[in-house]
A and B are shown apart, each in its own frame.
Chain A
Amino acid sequence: MSGPVQIKRESLSTLRATRRTMSSARWLMIMKKRSLEERREAALKRMAVEQMILTLGNENLTGISAKLKENETELNEARAALIKAREKLNYVKAMLGAVSRMLVVLSQVIKAPVGL
């Protein structure tokens, strides 16, 4: 895994651990005993952590989504090649069917009494 991706993933993991600590029963019970201003500040920090988790998660998904998009041309080409190969097979099948039908007509013509 490349450096920046790894750093983002590790940061995300640290932020998630912080979120859990700041939302734990122990933390919330400690906060209850603090002043209104301290509680407000803690709540704002908890939300800042939450939004950072969402932002980093989005960045990680954006990075991978861009790489998937880069692959779309080749994926489409691969699909088209498989469809073409299948079509060739169907073409041979259709040709054989047509020859078979032609032979039916031909055998009826040959079997038909002369003079008709």
Chain B
Amino acid sequence: MTARKISNVRIGLSTCILLLSACASIQSNISNGASFAAAGIAYIDAIPAILDESFMLTVKANSQQLLLSRDELTEDERLAQLEASDKLLEKRQELLRDLNTHALLLRSYFLSLKALTASENASGMKAVTQDLVTQMGALSPAIAAMSIGGVQISGLMGPAINLAVGTYQNAALNNELKMRGNAIERELALQKAVMSMLVDQMKDDAQFLIETENKNPVFEEYVAAKKVSAKWSNKRVAAFTQTVELQSLDSINKAADNLHDSWIAFVEKRDVAGTIDLLIQDIEQVLSITRRFKAND
């Protein structure tokens, strides 16, 4: 091999390595964006079930209060209490509906982020460009034979297109994060606050229902009944077990916290691979809770 040929091969290999390494660093940011978008969509998909469950628990707890008070009230008082409760519950339903509509807007943002950062963008472009090079080769054998450092031009198209598309995606993504990263951060902070409020309310309503429906009868039976039933001990265990299960609702808060924190890390260009993995685990837990909600309906 002549010195000139060796030098050409070196240029070819260097071009390939340069293209591939530039691609890797850009692709990491884009794939973080894609993972984040997927996690955001999964999180928002769980929101309707959380909102439904929150409302259902509120109505159940309110109904239980109305029933506990009913015997002591006159008919007029019952009517007044029922109407006042209904009015407040209708307002709650309207507020939750607004939250759901807003969540859909955030979902569409994540869908657009997913579309921009999709890996299909580069592969689709690669196929079109490869086709273009083939057609140019058919038109002129000189183009088909063209090479850089012994590496055929068609072989360099893949990494070059990946780099070009990646650079464009990365620039568009960075520009967007710079322009409106704060707005999304604010949005996720508010989502975190909403979830924290709803989880507090759900835990309290559920705890109230467990106490009035399960624990109170156990207490009364033991204290006031002439004879305690054989199932008394089991009923007592069931009441305590349900209380422990309420703690799983905390994973909703954890997922909202992680979504917010991961976004800040992503905007600040910190390594988010680990945090996104944790976020996905938290979202999985939230999805499993919402599946349980649906199964109990």
A79-B108 contact in complex given A23-B212, A47-B66, A110-B139, C-beta closer than 8 Å: yes
Are the C-beta atoms of A86 and B115 separated by less than 8 Å?
yes
Chain A residue at minimum C-beta to C-beta distance from B187: A71
The one of A78, A85, A92 in contact with B183, judged by C-beta atoms closer than 8 angstroms, is A78
Q: Specify which chain B residues have a CB less than 8 angstroms from the CB of A36 in the assembled complex.
A: 72
A61-B95 contact in complex given A75-B106, A89-B169, C-beta closer than 8 Å: yes
Are the C-beta atoms of A54 and B62 separated by less than 8 Å?
yes
Q: Specify which chain A residues have a CB less than 8 angstroms from the CB of B216 in the assembled complex.
A: 23-25, 28
Q: Specify which chain B residues have a CB less than 8 angstroms from the CB of A43 in the assembled complex.
A: 68-69, 72-73
Are the C-beta atoms of B184 and A23 separated by less than 8 Å?
no
Chain A residue at minimum C-beta to C-beta distance from B171: A85
Dominant SS among interface residues on chain B: helix
Tell me, yes or no, whether A11 is within 8 Å of chain B by CB.
no
Are the C-beta atoms of B72 and A81 separated by less than 8 Å?
no
Interface residues of B in 119-170 (CB under 8 A from A): 121, 124-125, 128-129, 131-132, 135-136, 138-139, 165, 168-169
What range describes how many residues of B lie at the interface? 35 or more
Are the C-beta atoms of B73 and A68 separated by less than 8 Å?
no
Interface residues of B in 220-264 (CB under 8 A from A): 220, 223-224
CB distance from B114 to the nearest CB of A (A): 9
Q: Specify which chain A residues have a CB less than 8 angstroms from the CB of B204 in the assembled complex.
A: 16
The one of A39, A71, A79, A85 in contact with B186, judged by C-beta atoms closer than 8 angstroms, is A71
Are the C-beta atoms of A107 and B135 separated by less than 8 Å?
yes
The one of B168, B197, B215, B220 in contact with A60, judged by C-beta atoms closer than 8 angstroms, is B197
Are the C-beta atoms of A57 and B92 separated by less than 8 Å?
yes
Q: Specify which chain A residues have a CB less than 8 angstroms from the CB of B215 in the assembled complex.
A: 25
Q: Specify which chain A residues have a CB less than 8 angstroms from the CB of B85 in the assembled complex.
A: 47, 50-51, 54
Q: Mark A15-46, 1 if CB is under 8 A from B, else 0.
A: 01001100111101100000010011011101
Number of interface residues of A (CB under 8 A): 60
CB distance from A19 to the nearest CB of B (A): 6
A44-B98 contact in complex given A57-B92, A64-B194, A78-B176, C-beta closer than 8 Å: no
CB distance from B266 to the nearest CB of A (A): 14
Are the C-beta atoms of B99 and A68 separated by less than 8 Å?
yes
CB distance from A11 to the nearest CB of B (A): 13
In the bound complex, CA of A74 to CA of B137 (Å) = 48
Chain A residue at minimum C-beta to C-beta distance from B182: A74
In the bound complex, CA of A77 to CA of B109 (Å) = 9
A64-B190 contact in complex given A29-B223, A75-B105, C-beta closer than 8 Å: yes
For this complex, 5 residue pairs linking A to B, each with C-beta atoms less than 8 Å apart, are A54-B58, A55-B88, A78-B184, A79-B108, A103-B132
Interface residues of A (CB under 8 A from B): 9, 12-13, 16, 19-20, 23-26, 28-29, 36, 39-40, 42-44, 46-47, 50-51, 54-55, 57-58, 60-62, 64-65, 67-69, 71-72, 74-79, 81-83, 85-86, 88-89, 92-93, 96-97, 99-100, 103-104, 106-107, 110
In the complex, the 6 A-B pairs of residues with the closest C-beta atoms, listed nearest first: A25-B219, A85-B172, A82-B112, A43-B72, A103-B135, A74-B183
- If A28-B216, A81-B179, A103-B136 are given as contacts, then 19 extra A-B residue pairs at C-beta distance below 8 Å, sorted by A number, are A26-B219, A29-B220, A40-B72, A40-B74, A43-B72, A50-B85, A65-B98, A74-B183, A75-B184, A76-B105, A77-B180, A82-B112, A83-B115, A85-B172, A96-B129, A96-B132, A97-B128, A100-B128, A100-B131
